[in-house]
Amino acid sequence: MTEPEPTTTKMGRPVFEVEGASVTYDMDRGVSRVLDDATIDIFEEEILGVVGESGSGKSMFASSLLNAVPPPGTLDGEIRYHRDGEVIDLLGLSPEQLRRVRWEDVAMVFQGAQSSFNPTISIRRHFEETLEAHEYDIENGLEHARQLLADLYLDPERVLGSYPHELSGGMQQRALIALSLVLEPDVLVMDEPTAALDLLMQRSILSLLENVKEKYELTVVFITHDLPLVAGLADRLAVMYSFKFVEIGRAEDVFSNPKHPYTRALLNAIPNLDTPRSRMHPIEGSAPDPVNVPTGCSYHPRCPLADEQCEAAEPPLAETTDKHHAACYYWEEAMEEIELSIESDEPAVDDTVVGRQSDEPVVSVDAVDVHFEQGGGGLFGFFSDPDTVHAVDDANLEIYENDVVALVGESGCGKTTLGKAIIAAQRPTNGTVRYRGQDIWGTRDGRVDGEIPWEQIRRSLQMIHQDPGSSLNSHRKIKSSLEDPLRRWHPNMDPGDREERILGMLEYTGMSPPTDYALRYPHQLSGGEKQRVALIRALLMNPDVILADEAVSALDVSLRLEMMDLMLELQDAFDTSYVFISHNLSNARYFAGNADGRIGVMYLGELVELGPVDEVIDEPLHPYTKVLKWATDDMELSDRIEDPPIRGIDIPDPVNPPAGCRFHTRCPEARTVCREESPSLDEAVSAHPTACFREYPMEHPYWDSEPVDDAEETVTGDPIDAG
Amino acid sequence: MVNYYLARTAQALFTVFAVMTLAFGLIRLMPGGPMDFVRAQLQQEAGAVDQAQINAMVEVYTNVHPEQPLLDQYVDYMSGIMRGDLGVSMWYDRPVSEILAMALPWTVFVMTISLAFTFGIGISLGAAMAYAEGSRFDSISTLVSIFLNSIPYYVAAIVMVYFLGYESGMFPIGGRISSDVTPGLNIPFIASAFYHAALPIASFVITAFGIQALAMRGNSIRVLGEDYLRVAQLRGLPPHDIALRYIGRNAILPMYTGFMISIGFMFGGSVILEEIFAYPGVGFYMFRGIEARDYPLMMGAFILITVAVVIGVYVADLTYGKLDPRASTKGGDREAF
């Protein structure tokens, strides 16, 4: 599967020649140029990774390759497609010819698989109507489809017979890839195909994609905001900034030896598992507006090397060294002056962060279960037997003052539910949650007569949500949104003091001038600014614990570090603890590590490993944590993407979790005893609590037990038989 | 899934049962209710008849036996309804069930045609408006739809019966068929039935299609922005298929609920409408029952209308899963946890 030197052999004949392609929209404010003079060749059977942040024009480039720019945009320039020696001018085709080229020669996979399928017709029908529309033989076509689905580790009959909503997100995305390949195209354009998925699923799909690409001799254009994700997969990388290509070159060159200042800054801004945390830096400033692109080099306002020349004239995309192009006058200086965090000569040791955690826990969670009932309900609910979802089972956790606990896991593992239980936003089914030793729900119900009133507990536990856009009322000014909590909890506060406090917080978080920001509406703020407002709103309560539920996931890559830095800075100022929920191990490492916090790994409702950041990241003990680490570990370019160290791609149904250790259906180390017995966190003799028999004392029956054989395994709720 | 059907059936049966109990309660418990009224009427008419006879007649008329304990009366009344015995109409002096059985098909006939036209016109117009979004056709149609929708159907009915019936004589002003046709499957009979039903249907349709057109327009525009439409176009599906299977189907689905509500609305509306057009359907008889204090007839019609609405919504509910596969899986998005 792996080829020793893939790039040199493949720089063969071009399959696409794009010259000066531009996409423009006429808007009231002026002409919006969302793809600016893109020129690039795409070669046969290569994987071209196109990387850019949101609003960099990368999706427009993808649409241009199918001449399918959403109206009313206009596409100019020249795009030539080579089919068996024949050259096709993509912009000069008749509608019928264009219809033929699309999907038969060039197919596309979109980001949201869920919204790419018609919800009211079955997956099989999607395949059939595509084959019918292109007058392919239905029987042969469906046979090919079955083969493709099987290649993507899906059960063909089950998937074909399903409706889109009956499949999980990862399965939908793979079914969509199969649908795009059913007419055997030469080129597959993928626009953020994995952005909506968990890291583990992203990785698994990428490794499948590589196999499929080899098998069907495809050329793949892979568009993503995630540079490390695609670096191991792609043969060549093209980086976009402000609707232009700023750097194009072989993947290893661009990744390990980037020449454009933006690429270098972007690499330093992306959290990862290996680089010392102190060497990651956010990019200052923000990306330009498509109507008002700066003159000269569009990156000059953010570039540390910019001078008059950069402001006056735009640098061309020129070849620097062997087949490595960069649009910068000072690429040689950039390579010297902007140091890459991964290749620094300084010893890779972080300053030891000493936490300021207290001895007494603020919140302690004791044997908490949270179960949800599905179905049933209503007047006649008793006729149906409701399914119980075990969102959280038997969780024990203590949060101290000035603490940071990062909960990580795949979607559906119960991390959000546990987080909500910690801040008393979700009533547990069993178990108790205590605030400074006092039973929270007992206080709420009046059963416990404690010293701390319920209102104070409620105020002390706050939350910020994933999507900053929807957690602020769009019809109210920032000031009114921020005034509410103060008015509610400090009714006697002078309006002048209130305003002063709000303005002070805005200023403190870098939103200046604060009087201007206070009078804006949420839509006039950027995503990062909205998230800061949400953070201020939570902090105005002077809370003891803030639940940050995927608080940085919706932000652009270059802004994530900045936001996390701000949160940590505010922790120092306000003595707050954070429960940080993330599906991304690198973010969790950066955030929790900088406060000497802990990482808790969750799988199917259970905490499986809990320990200090560096221990969990550097020496993960639970097999599941190792899998997560595999999915995140990406700064190694030398080895190509290998098969996942896991036996099933899809997560089992939480309604019917596997008996015994819940991870045994996917665990590479599972033995027969794991099917019957369930390990617990506190019996392990390892450095930190780990719910795995491998960390139990040596006399445990695990070591005498037989390894689980895939052939006889009946996997519950998991249709995938991973080979 | 089986559980869902069971639960839904039980719910429908419970609703019918609750309505019947309510009807019984009204008859039996309301002061100055039907029993006193019937007794007073009989005493006025035939002063010579003794009390026992009057009581017997009251029982026959209202299907309630006043001397029995409450529970027995209730069981008698309910079992009477189960046998189709809704009492005897005082005004018509015929069993209520017989009167309603004669009237029901005509009401259903008018309603079905009205619903078909309302949704047919609404959906086609709405789709056309969405296709031409922002055009002059779109804005004029929107205006007309809102205007027509804001006219109450009974006002439209009175205006039509006055101008098209009394003034111009183009349409009949009452009745279900002409007296000179023979009932059966012959063309003059059917033509006459449609001719007589034309005005009631028209007054329903003209005042109701507008809201459906606007709903369809909104739904279609929403679907037009969906990603799967773009994917379908890139996949090269013929425009005809996209319009029908992708836009049409997904836009019409949310209107199915509106369709269910319309069934109930039209049954209720038939009371006034059939009175205006003197069209002897269920609503017409119910109105007569109210007017003449003919309580058995009124109750019978009331129960019949309720049962019809319940059945209509029940059928619509059970078939919704066939139209929208998402509705047939309980729980849905499990990744929310």
A640: alpha, beta or left? (left if phi > 0; alpha if psi -120 to 50):
beta
Which domains can be identified in chain A, with CATH numbers?
263-342 (no CATH), 361-601 (3.40.50.300)
For residue A41, which phi and psi values (nearest 5 degrees)? -105, 140
Residue B178 falls inside a structural domain: yes
Residue B55 falls inside a structural domain: yes
Contact: B331, A374; criterion CB under 8 Å: yes
User: What distance in Å separates the CA atoms of residue B317 and residue B210, rounded to the nearest whole number?
Assistant: 24
Residue B22 shares a structural domain with residue B125: no
Q: Is the pLDDT assigned to residue A378 strictly greater than 60? A: no
CA nearest to A349, candidates A281, A282, A277, A280: A277
Measured in whole angstroms, the distance separating CA A470 from the mean position of its chain's CA atoms is: 19
- Mean pLDDT of the A154-182 span: 89
What's the pLDDT at B66?
59
User: What distance in Å separates the CA atoms of residue B69 and residue B164, rounded to the nearest whole number?
Assistant: 55
CA B253-B256-B261 angle, 5° bins = 155
Residue B101, SS3 per DSSP: helix
Which DSSP category does A119 fall into?
A: T
Contact: B3, A385; criterion CB under 8 Å: yes
CA nearest to A588, candidates A714, A442, A409, A464: A409
Could you report the per-residue pLDDT of B150-200, keeping only the tens digit for each? 999 889 999 998 998 888 888 887 777 777 777 777 888 888 888 888 999
| Encoded amino acid at A229, one letter | L
What's the pLDDT at A720?
39
Contact: B227, A169; criterion CB under 8 Å: no
Q: Which two tokens stand for residue B112?
A: 């079905």
For residue A706, which phi and psi values (nearest 5 degrees)? -80, 145
User: What distance in Å separates the CA atoms of residue A578 and residue A401, rounded to the nearest whole number?
Assistant: 9
**Interface mutation vs chain B, best among A120, A135, A198, A429, most B CBs within 10 Å:** A120
N-term to C-term CA, chain A: 15
Q: What domain range is B121 assigned to? A: 103-327
- Residue A107 CB partners (closer than 8 Å, separation 6+): A180, A181, A183, A185, A187, A188, A189, B234
> What are A319's strand-pairing partners?
A325
pLDDT band at A276 (very low <50, low <70, confident <90, very high): confident
pLDDT band at A123 (very low <50, low <70, confident <90, very high): very high
pLDDT band at A8 (very low <50, low <70, confident <90, very high): very low
For residue A608, which phi and psi values (nearest 5 degrees)? -105, -20
Residue B111 falls inside a structural domain: yes
HEC per residue, A63-107: HHCCCCCCCCCEEEEEEEEEECCEEEEHHHCCHHHHHHHHHHCEE
B187 touches chain A (CB under 8 A): no
Q: Among B14, B246, B329, whose Cβ lies nearest the Cβ of A118?
A: B246
Contact: A378, B246; criterion CB under 8 Å: no
> What are A190's strand-pairing partners?
A109, A222
Residue B209 falls inside a structural domain: yes
User: What distance in Å separates the CA atoms of residue A61 and residue A275, rounded to the nearest whole number?
Assistant: 32
Please check whether residue A107 is in contact with residue A118, taking contact to mean a CB–CB distance below 8 angstroms. no
- Mean pLDDT of the A187-205 span: 83
Residue B129 shares a structural domain with residue B75: no
Min Cα distance A68 → chain B (Å) is: 8
pLDDT band at A405 (very low <50, low <70, confident <90, very high): very high
User: What distance in Å separates the CA atoms of residue A681 and residue A609, rounded to the nearest whole number?
Assistant: 7
Residue B66 shares a structural domain with residue B121: no
For chain B, the C-alpha Rg in angstroms (whole number) is: 25
Residue B88 falls inside a structural domain: no
Residue B97 falls inside a structural domain: no
Q: Which two tokens stand for residue A181?
A: 């390949």
Set of chain A residues whose Cβ sits within 8 Å of the Cβ of B11: 379-380
User: What distance in Å separates the CA atoms of residue A105 and residue A96, rounded to the nearest whole number?
Assistant: 14
pLDDT band at A379 (very low <50, low <70, confident <90, very high): very low
| Encoded amino acid at B48, one letter | A
Q: Which of residues 225-264 of B touch A (CB under 8 A)?
A: 226-228, 230-238, 241, 245-246, 249-250, 253
Q: Among A107, A120, A179, whose Cβ lies nearest the Cβ of B250?
A: A120
Instruction: Report the CATH number that the domain containing residue B277 is assigned in CATH.
Output: 1.10.3720.10
> What are A191's strand-pairing partners?
A223
Q: Which two tokens stand for residue B29?
A: 């418990």
For chain A, the C-alpha Rg in angstroms (whole number) is: 27
Q: Among B226, B237, B326, whose Cβ lies nearest the Cβ of A165?
A: B326
What's the pLDDT at A353?
63
pLDDT band at A466 (very low <50, low <70, confident <90, very high): confident
Name which of A64-68, A382-386, A600-604 the model is least confident about: A382-386
Name which of A342-356, A362-376, A555-569 the model is least confident about: A342-356
A584: alpha, beta or left? (left if phi > 0; alpha if psi -120 to 50):
beta
Could you report the per-residue pLDDT of B258-270, keeping only the tens digit for each? 787 788 777 888 8
Residue B52 shares a structural domain with residue B110: no
Other C-beta atoms lying within 10 Å of the C-beta of residue B328:
14
Q: In A492-586, which ranges are E strands?
A: 545-549, 577-582
pLDDT band at A238 (very low <50, low <70, confident <90, very high): very high
pLDDT band at B65 (very low <50, low <70, confident <90, very high): low
- Residue B273 CB partners (closer than 8 Å, separation 6+): B153, B154, B157, B200, B203, B204, B279, B283
A449 burial (CB, 10 Å; 0-12 / 13-18 / 19+) is: exposed
Residue B194 shares a structural domain with residue B312: yes
Could you report the per-residue pLDDT of A616-648, keeping only the tens digit for each? 888 888 988 888 888 776 545 445 555 667 777
Could you report the per-residue pLDDT of A545-582, keeping only the tens digit for each? 999 988 887 777 777 888 888 898 888 888 889 999 98
**Interface mutation vs chain A, best among B234, B247, B319, B329, most A CBs within 10 Å:** B234
Residue B55 shares a structural domain with residue B124: no
Min Cα distance A159 → chain B (Å) is: 15
User: What distance in Å separates the CA atoms of residue A104 and residue A393, rounded to the nearest whole number?
Assistant: 49
Contact: B335, A116; criterion CB under 8 Å: no
User: What distance in Å separates the CA atoms of residue A582 and residue A603, rounded to the nearest whole number?
Assistant: 13
pLDDT band at B62 (very low <50, low <70, confident <90, very high): low
Contact: A110, B6; criterion CB under 8 Å: no
Residue B90 falls inside a structural domain: no
Min Cα distance A168 → chain B (Å) is: 8
Helix (H) / strand (E) containing B9: helix B2-29
Please check whether residue A420 is in contact with residue A363, taking contact to mean a CB–CB distance below 8 angstroms. no
Name which of A234-248, B51-65, B225-239 the model is least confident about: B51-65
What's the pLDDT at A132?
92
Residue B209 shares a structural domain with residue B280: yes
- Total count of domains within chain B: 2
**How far is the CA of A469 from the CAs of A93, A409, B68, B121, in angstroms?**
41, 24, 68, 40
Residue of B nearest to A99 (CA): B236
Residue B109 shares a structural domain with residue B75: no
CA nearest to A118, candidates B227, B329, B234: B227
For residue B244, which phi and psi values (nearest 5 degrees)? -80, -55
What's the pLDDT at A5?
41
CA nearest to A40, candidates A92, A10, A9, A80: A80
Residue B278 shares a structural domain with residue B206: yes
Across chain A, mean pLDDT equals 82
Set of chain B residues whose Cβ sits within 8 Å of the Cβ of A110: 227, 230-231
Residue B223 shares a structural domain with residue B318: yes
Min Cα distance A590 → chain B (Å) is: 25
More confident site: A658 or B68: A658
Residue of A nearest to B237 (CA): A133
Q: Is the pLDDT assigned to residue B138 strictly greater than 80? A: yes
pLDDT band at B54 (very low <50, low <70, confident <90, very high): confident
Q: Is the pLDDT assigned to residue A7 strictly greater than 60? A: no
Set of chain B residues whose Cβ sits within 8 Å of the Cβ of A120: 245, 249-250, 253, 323-326
Residue B335 falls inside a structural domain: no
**How far is the CA of B132 from the CAs of A217, A371, B149, B251, in angstroms?**
44, 50, 21, 16
pLDDT band at A653 (very low <50, low <70, confident <90, very high): confident
Q: Give the residue ranges of DSSP H helices in A134-260.
A: 138-151, 156-160, 169-181, 199-216, 227-231, 251-256
Residue A545, SS3 per DSSP: strand
Q: Is the pLDDT assigned to residue A145 strictly greater than 90? A: yes
Could you report the per-residue pLDDT of B105-126, keeping only the tens digit for each? 888 899 889 999 999 999 999 9
What's the pLDDT at A722?
35
Could you report the per-residue pLDDT of B199-246, keeping only the tens digit for each? 999 999 999 999 999 999 999 988 888 889 889 989 989 888 888 889
Residue B230 shares a structural domain with residue B318: yes
Could you report the per-residue pLDDT of A278-320, keeping only the tens digit for each? 777 777 777 777 777 888 888 888 888 888 888 888 888 888 8
Residue B127 shares a structural domain with residue B78: no
Across chain B, mean pLDDT equals 81
